[in-house]
Structure 1
């Protein structure tokens, strides 16, 4: 083995591999199988984390199904745990730290340089490629065969993972670490869309379409922001009730409502200054646009069908001067925003734990079933 190969692959260079267990997806739409795997030791800029908990996100569901990812793969991108080892070049993270794993980014493109890593020019390759972008390698193997294990720079459906310092966020040890994983994506997206993207302020009015984990996180964030009206549109009655408990001023059932737009305007009252769609449903997005007051803004975070178009009446938008923008990961700089979310939780202002249903790691398929059938808002696998 050459010196270059040794630097690239510490396990082949003679350093001990890490024994781990991982939930491997081998075919689109298939079931996960928990198997024994081996992980390389962390490279210079990498971190080895023992996973304590990991959330199941809608993106995981989509990537298990129709969205193309390389197989076999370990999904999971809402991991949290304890650092066990770091590479020689890591300075911000230390063994023993409690950490949340979040999306990956290149760290050097113009948007990363502006502290907007969620719009990294290389976002798709860094997060959906399944391998290290630098050389196409993966840190995980199964019986000597490679397993794609860099999903969102972490692949956290595993007992251990290799992440980069770039997407490993140190957090307070005052909160149970196994619950914090969803801050890395779902909670960050919902809360960030309100606080960072739409920039809701005291006295503003907000309509939130969909009350899943992202939508309910947006409700809590709108309350933190001091919004005067927080209107939730959601067909599930238990989620409407929870939205009201978490800070919504009105929770509307769109089922059988012939004019959801009119109902939101009445609850607004008169309309809303900001709206957030978490559903990705074109008809819902069209209705949301019409709820906006002049100079209002609609944010899009829901995953639409691949061929969906924006159902907008351009003249209606022009006469009101309203806008619409898609947001990624709540416009977050995770190194700043995730610790801020933890502090909101410690202060009692972001009780995201109320969204969580716990599953054991071996129940990963049941957790996915609960996500798709709606019986759980935010499943978290506890390791």
Structure 2
């Protein structure tokens, strides 16, 4: 099927038309890729908490919109200036960035000064155009994380397409583009956890457990997982946690100090709950560092003990997308997975495309850590 034929045909995508959803499977159309874009036939897309945050307009993305930002698929066509990938390549789709601002130029594309425009505006940032339209030809907001991959096809920019090895299970790889990358990258890139270190993951969802796996993979020897769901804590032990704390029953700061004496070298919060973030800071040893990676409600205020930070020389910082360079980091995670050292497949449950609302509900209830929506064939 040529690109022109495809552009004239409809395909299925999940459209959110009102605050709070639901995801509606509709027939949509797509433009041909622009000169710097890539048309991808989507095989499967992970579902992330941010999809629900956008569905519910906690992040004020425009509706109607096609969400989805952990896509994996096969290149169908490329724009005239694209040499990075070619038709038939297997790819993972990740966050978009401008490539021109200071953070991008300094090797931190996840901290792009134009991140919101490139990932949440609902349109191409350069000209305000859309890649998708409904069956009635009315434009649909798209470009969510530069991809909008809850559909059989997606158009991404060359900057947020990552070529991956073809012997890896493509339908499994989408979550590496955001959630898994965030947890693992925070440990390996932002905090630089190393052999013999102590680390605490506050929150044992997909992001937190990815951090636990990464800490174990690099040889951290004391690894805490803190959550209120017993099944998640049991899985954390299987994935490398040496200690687990159910914070509904025990004070995690007291437990961490009892085990370590002074606290952990590193901590990460993936809950976005300010009281939990405060515990992550309190659980640090002197000179320790904590990372905040979870999305809080707009306007949330964090209350920290300033003297604890100053006198104990602690640092608390935000981290986006694991401070990753996706073209480098995602292939590394795949290599670790295929070597048996990063078993993120244990977090996953697959759903058919028509079950997308069930997947969202299961994710929000904590029934499923990382849903992946099967959309197309490999």
TM-score > 0.5, shorter chain as reference:
yes
Aligned counterpart, 1:148: 141
**Are 1:212 and 2:212 an aligned pair?**
no
Output aligned runs, 1:123-202, within 5 Å. 123-142=115-134, 143-202=136-195
Give the SS at the match of 1:189: helix
CA distance in structure 2 between the aligned counterparts of 1:267 and 1:167, rounded to whole angstroms: 42
Q: 2:42 aligns with which of 34, 51, 63?
A: 51
Contact 1:231 1:267 in 2 (8 A): no
Aligned counterpart, 2:51: 60
**Are 1:233 and 2:236 an aligned pair?**
no
Q: 1:21 aligns with which of 7, 12, 36?
A: 12
Q: 1:260 aligns with which of 243, 252, 256?
A: 252
Give the SS at the match of 1:52: strand
CA distance in structure 2 between the aligned counterparts of 1:339 and 1:108, rounded to whole angstroms: 24
Structure 1 unaligned regions, length at least 5:
1-9
* TM-score using structure 1 length: 0.95
Structure 2 unaligned regions, length at least 5:
none
Aligned counterpart, 2:336: 344
Distance 1:106 1:295, change over 3 A: same
Quote the offset at 1:119 in angstroms: 0.7
Aligned counterpart, 1:6: none
Give the SS at the match of 2:216: helix
CA distance in structure 2 between the aligned counterparts of 1:197 and 1:218, rounded to whole angstroms: 12
After superposing the two structures, state which structure 1 stretch, 300-309 or 189-198, moved more.
Answer: 300-309
Contact 2:262 2:286 in 1 (8 A): no
Aligned counterpart, 1:73: 65
Output aligned runs, 1:296-315, within 5 Å. 296-315=288-307
Contact 1:18 1:40 in 2 (8 A): no
Contact 1:188 1:329 in 2 (8 A): yes
* TM-score using structure 2 length: 0.96
CA distance in structure 2 between the aligned counterparts of 1:201 and 1:380, rounded to whole angstroms: 31
Listed one character per residue, the Cα deviations across residues 149-198 of structure 1 (whole Å, up to 9, x for unaligned) are: 21000000000011111100000111111110000000000000000000
**Are 1:366 and 2:339 an aligned pair?**
no
Quote the offset at 1:306 in angstroms: 1.7
CA distance in structure 1 between the aligned counterparts of 2:52 and 2:257, rounded to whole angstroms: 34
Aligned counterpart, 2:311: 319
Give the SS at the match of 1:340: helix
Aligned counterpart, 2:278: 286
CA distance in structure 2 between the aligned counterparts of 1:167 and 1:306, rounded to whole angstroms: 26
Quote the offset at 1:349 in angstroms: 0.7
Contact 2:180 2:207 in 1 (8 A): yes
Listed one character per residue, the Cα deviations across residues 291-334 of structure 1 (whole Å, up to 9, x for unaligned) are: 11111001000111222212210011111100000000000000
Quote the offset at 1:268 in angstroms: 3.1
Contact 2:7 2:30 in 1 (8 A): no
Quote the offset at 1:209 in angstroms: 0.3
CA distance in structure 2 between the aligned counterparts of 1:15 and 1:286, rounded to whole angstroms: 51
After superposing the two structures, state which structure 1 stretch, 48-57 or 266-275, moved more.
Answer: 266-275
CA distance in structure 1 between the aligned counterparts of 2:304 and 2:9, rounded to whole angstroms: 52
CA distance in structure 2 between the aligned counterparts of 1:98 and 1:18, rounded to whole angstroms: 23
CA distance in structure 2 between the aligned counterparts of 1:185 and 1:292, rounded to whole angstroms: 26
Distance 1:125 1:366, change over 3 A: same
Distance 1:44 1:234, change over 3 A: same
Give the SS at the match of 1:295: strand
